[in-house]
Chain A
Amino acid sequence: MQLSRRNFLKVGGSSAAWLAAVGCDRLPRELRALYESPKRSGSFQPPTTQDIDPVTHVLNRTAFGPRPGEYTRVRKLGTTPMEAAAAYVEQQLNPQQLDDAEAEYAVRRFETLTEPLGELFEYQEELLQNELMRGALTRAIWSERQLYEVMVQFWSDHFNIDPSKGDCKWLKVADDREVIRKHALGSFPEMLRASALSPAMLWYLDGRVNRRGNMAEKPNENYARELLELHSLGVHGGYTQTDVMEVARCLTGWTVRSKAQEPYFQIGKVEFKLSQHDCGGKQVLGENFPAIPANLDKARREQLGQAELDRVLEIVTNHPATARHLSTKLCQRFIADEPPARAAESVASAFTQSGGDIPTTLRALFATSEFREARGNKIKRPFNYIVSALRATGASTDAGMELIGYLQRMGHAPFNYPTPDGFPEPAAPWLGTLLWRWNFALALSENRINGTRLDFAALLSNAGGDAGLMAHLLGRKPSPDEAQAYYDSGAGLALILSAPAFQRC
């Protein structure tokens, strides 16, 4: 049974009283997901090492941080911490094999996320935007498929679309589902193609107005430029301004029906218009595209015109600069803000050899000694910080707008980045957000965020007391300074969540 909001509201009017009357165990599973915190842990053994061990490292870096008890669970996957970490990462690289029912139930309340493209236009923009944000937050907190959600975030930045532009307000929901989430741990070439023909992307980077109905008309280069600069080869990838113009010419004629166009039910439909395609000969990155002969029949000409998109994507996907660009970005995400060149090279060759298979590429990354050794050297971005704090404390949350308000304050509410380069990954631009992190930590620990609740007494006792709680949050034993500050601060939980060490991952 899928529980829609309408049905929920029918039973929901006095749901709190009803809950009290029937007790949680009698609730349908769908409703339980709304009211309960994920996975009550019971007592657990926090880390006992002086430094972050490989298990904590992978939970910090390839996931959004450990939940209570998760360290122990993952540690048991191998005889040594190193083996256990490797086994965990391998599980995470196969997300379909991880049961994720809880997270899926939790996001069911966000109905718009599953609405088909055409139906999205029925909704208020604000609702769509809010449900996108709340869905992303809910999944990051609750999903068992943590690496998958991390990669969803990575690709959302890589193929960034700001929904505030034009019809993207509606279309981004479909892009999130059909481009980003569909391919996040799949095949890069398939994701690139899905993105190139995504209605939201055609809007956001003006592909829809890239046309050449006659030779006087100048193609719109916006998408072509970002395709080369951001999505594939990278800014120093060896392409020229001429290549940008030629790519734009190859992609002329692809467009998307806008909200202003009739008939209504075709809004968001992607179309290829031969009459607006530049049929002349072209050259992209040294490869020739013959002119489309005028004497062929229309269907054949259309086929040839459309095929130019596929050929462009094939050329850029196979270009060595694309492997380098993507592997460098992945290493920046998973290893260090200044990615080590040697690791990037081995990741690039895995990308090339696997034809852009994302799990294979990541497997190579996680196997590098640079990845294993670079522990605690990255700073969490605000989204990751907030999610990691919620996971670490086992808080229950509705991922509501008050929580999202903290992300907005820090400039990191998902789907709110204006330019196509996506939220920056390195730490520097985020260093101005500490006060809001501290205020969040304080409000969370004092249960002052509407819709979000933690049970401090249970957390403390499950972790085996103050020392255990600190070790659980820090992923290692606290330093004498940290322990001292924990007691001196009068707000120990908030202090540790605000400490430099908890900003790191």
Chain B
Amino acid sequence: MAEVQSILTGNGDQRQTLVVVFLRGGADGLNLVAPLDDDGYYRARPRIAIGRKQAVRLDGFYGLNPLLQALEPAYHDGALAIIHAAGSEDNTRSHFEAQDLMEHGGVTGGGWLGRFLQARNQAGSGPLAAVALGKSIPECLRGSPAATVLQSLDDFSLGDNRPRLTQSLAKLYGAQTDGLAGAGRDTLDALRRVEQLRNTPYLAANGAHYGGDDFSRGLRQVARLIKGRVGLQAASVDLGGWDSHFSQSLIMDPLISRLAKGLAAFYQDLGDEMHRTTVVVMTEFGRRVEENSAFGTDHGRGSVMFVMGGGIEGGRVLGKWPGLSREVLEGPGDLPVTTNYRNVLAPILQRHGAGGKLSQVFPEFNIAPLPLYG
């Protein structure tokens, strides 16, 4: 069946899907995944640190924020890896500059995901190869061939559903045998599949339970498209609002819960399909190590990244922990970046078929891929 479907979608072996989750606003890596055995952490954050007892222990050193507990199964299954002290080389601590750099993949034109898809798809791609869940195309997808913005599956249709027009098109595109006709048939097929998806109430598998927020809804649509075999190669979903200068827990806690609930439901829902899927979670920068007077944290440098998906050797926190002593902190007191985000993305893109094109995706960067896959 899978074989038949891959022929129908014209996608061949390209059925792997990369899902990029961007936490906009600078998510506090230190309180998402806390360095429980670094006393410096508790000294710097006497009021807002995650307590050793509350945390979900991952290994001898790190613990998850208790609100991320739903991610524990994936971690213990070895399907979730965490990279600490990850980030970019940007040290402006400006949201705009840092997001721009991270999404462009350097001071260069276009987005890294767009360049990846361009490089990968010189041979052509289907109409649903790249999808941004939300209202606009994020910068990382800039330059992608035919990236589609979808808020829901309703956005993928021919007008308000025109069966007579669709049939006539099927007749004209069906009568020929060249590449254009094949693309026409692929498109009509994708339309049919999406319409079927739309008409079938979607039940998440394996008892997965998504939240009702936009982030969960977005991931649910992505899961639906993956299972619908519509040729989805890359999807982006944003979760914004992490700029926690004041009353950090009031701002962050609901977001952390949404993040955990969405990712855990997605993981459970996809089940075996997770083998051909990778989810990467990133943010433009972390927060200052020391809490401020308003129970918040200011713009910092290093944060965490999460990678969930097929083939990875997860159940580990990767990346070099630099420590939190005064000498190692950067600038005004920030966690230094010991793993550049590109070195996390590089092995993932390789698995997703980047071939020898990585230097095109990340120009002017010496790639040292993180051993995500062992």
Contact = CB atoms under 8 A, between A and B. Distances in A.
B128 to A, nearest CB: 8
B125 A432 contact: yes
Interface stretch (A135-143, A348-356, A410-418): A410-418
B229 to A, nearest CB: 16
Contacts of B156: 435
A430 B164 contact: no
Interface string A474-486: 0000000110111
Interface in B167-214: 167-169, 171-173, 175-176, 179-184, 187, 190-191
B137 to A, nearest CB: 7
Contacts of A427: 179-180
Given A162-B110, A379-B180, A499-B172, A411 B144 contact: yes
Contacts of B147: 409, 411
Contacts of A443: 159
A418 B143 contact: yes
Contacts of B179: 427-428, 431
B122 A429 contact: yes
Interface in A468-505: 481-482, 484-486, 488-491, 494-495, 498-500, 503-504
B125 A500 contact: no
A165 interface: yes
A433 B146 contact: yes
Given A409-B147, A489-B165, 16 more contacts: A162-B110, A204-B109, A418-B143, A419-B110, A427-B179, A428-B122, A429-B121, A429-B125, A433-B146, A434-B183, A435-B127, A435-B190, A435-B191, A438-B169, A488-B164, A500-B173
A490 B146 contact: no
Interface string B270-299: 000000000000000000000000000000
Interface in A416-452: 416-420, 424, 427-436, 438-439, 442-443
B148 interface: yes
B89 to A, nearest CB: 16
Contacts of B15: none
B353 to A, nearest CB: 15
Nearest to A417: B143
A500 B180 contact: yes
Contacts of B109: 161-162, 164-165, 168, 204, 417-420
A442 B165 contact: yes
Interface in B104-148: 104, 107-111, 114-115, 118, 121-127, 129, 137, 139, 142-148
B165 A482 contact: no
B184 A434 contact: yes
Contacts of A204: 109
Given A162-B110, A431-B183, A494 B145 contact: no
Contacts of B104: 164
B162 interface: yes
Interface of B: 104, 107-111, 114-115, 118, 121-127, 129, 137, 139, 142-149, 156, 158-159, 162, 164-165, 167-169, 171-173, 175-176, 179-184, 187, 190-191, 360, 364
26 contacts: A168-B109, A409-B147, A411-B144, A411-B147, A418-B115, A418-B142, A424-B122, A428-B122, A429-B125, A430-B124, A430-B145, A435-B127, A435-B190, A436-B146, A438-B165, A481-B171, A485-B168, A486-B168, A489-B167, A490-B164, A490-B165, A491-B165, A495-B169, A500-B172, A500-B176, A500-B180
A37 interface: no
Interface string A153-171: 0000000011011101000
Contacts of B167: 488-489
B121 A485 contact: no
Contacts of A435: 127, 156, 158, 187, 190-191
The 7 closest A-B pairs by CB, nearest first: A418-B110, A162-B109, A418-B143, A431-B183, A489-B168, A485-B168, A418-B109
A161 B143 CA distance: 12
A419 B143 CA distance: 8
B183 A432 contact: yes
Given A409-B146, A429-B124, A442-B158, A485 B108 contact: no
A429 B169 CA distance: 21
Nearest to A204: B109
Contacts of A168: 109
Given A165-B109, A499-B172, A428 B142 contact: no
A346 interface: no
A165 to B, nearest CB: 5
Nearest to A490: B164
Nearest to A337: B179
Contacts of B360: 419
Nearest to B142: A418
A408 interface: yes
Nearest to A485: B168
B168 A495 contact: yes
Nearest to B158: A438
